[in-house]
Amino acid sequence: MSDYFHLRAVPPSALRNSANWMQRLFEDDWDAVRERIGRHREEVLDKSYLDHELLYAGAEVVLGGLPVYPGDHDKPPFLLLTAARANRVSAYLGSADFEALWLVVREELLPRHGGAAAEREARGVFAAAHRDLTAFYDQTARYGDAVVKWLVH
């Protein structure tokens, strides 16, 4: 199984500052998650999630957050964005110009994604992820939710 970056929206009233609770949030099946957080909204980025972060370097915390370390320190930390921070990320993504972001990082990303010959396809993948993240954070902000993130192996 390959790595992927998983983001879940969580109502602040349901959120627990506990690595055990966050672990269960990502291990539960879809129905259990809906029952616990009320609304099931999530986004998943594939193993190239760090490349997506390059688009937003120096901007808001689109993929980062406050680390919450699990008891097993061999696992990556969970990342937490408060509802206020998620709202700021939503505002940033809603006003971001993907074309301008792409132009800044394309030279760095293209060699890892098929080179110049594959630019149209690579750009399309990043544009789709940008649209998905923008929609995820927009809906999260409208509900006033926080976001919990985790790199899943």
Q: Is 6 in contact with 24 (CB distance < 8 Å)? A: no
Q: Which domains does the chain have, with CATH numbers?
A: 4-152 (3.40.1760.10)
Q: Model-level pTM?
A: 0.87
Tell me the C-alpha distance between 67 and 84, whole Å: 16
Q: pLDDT tens digits, residue range 59-106?
A: 677 888 999 998 777 888 999 999 999 999 999 999 999 999 999 999
SS3 9: strand
Report pLDDT digits (tens) over 85-94: 999 999 999 9
Please state the separation of Cα 136 from the chain's center in Å: 9
